[in-house]
Amino acid sequence: MNAPRDNGPDPLETLAIGALVVFGAVSVGHWLAASLAALVGRQRSLDAGLAESFSALRLLPRYWSDPRRAWAEPAASNLAGPVLYWLSVVVVLAAALGALLLWLKYRQRRHEPIDRRRRVGVDAQPRLATTKDLRPLLGREPEAGRLVLGRWGR
């Protein structure tokens, strides 16, 4: 006989997807920050894509004091100075953090724990019915307008 298999997600696959999401978010965030710096500082577009953004991100640790040197032309000539560049990075990080916090806040609100929900004034927590819960449904004799499901107590 076959051994039972775990149908849960593969940890390595989860790690790879997580790394890909982080890689994409960092590249897009870096591109947005550089585009904002170019737009505010020089009133020009960056003229670079995500691939150039990732290449510049790899070179950025060498050029902390002048981030323009990490970018290839024509993007380097469109970027503003280091102060405006790092200020735009802070603005993009703050916006991303704010969006993440809003998403987390509203995500939690939609998935309220089941033991706190109330439907029409009644707790919606699943449990087995007690005698007290069943008492209004029980009757000694059949009544008009009620469906008899079975006999009890004979």
| pLDDT at residue 89 in the model | 93
Residue 21 structural domain:
13-114
91 in a structural domain = yes
CA distance 49 to 20: 18
Q: What is the pTM of this model?
A: 0.62
Residue 124 has pLDDT above 60, yes or no: yes
| pLDDT at residue 116 in the model | 66
Domain count, the chain: 1
More confident residue, 107 or 114: 107
19 in a structural domain = yes
| pLDDT at residue 115 in the model | 60
Task: Provide, rounded to the nearest whole percent, the portion of the chain with pLDDT above 70.
Answer: 82
Q: Look over the chain and give the mean of its residue pLDDT values, rounded to a whole number.
A: 84
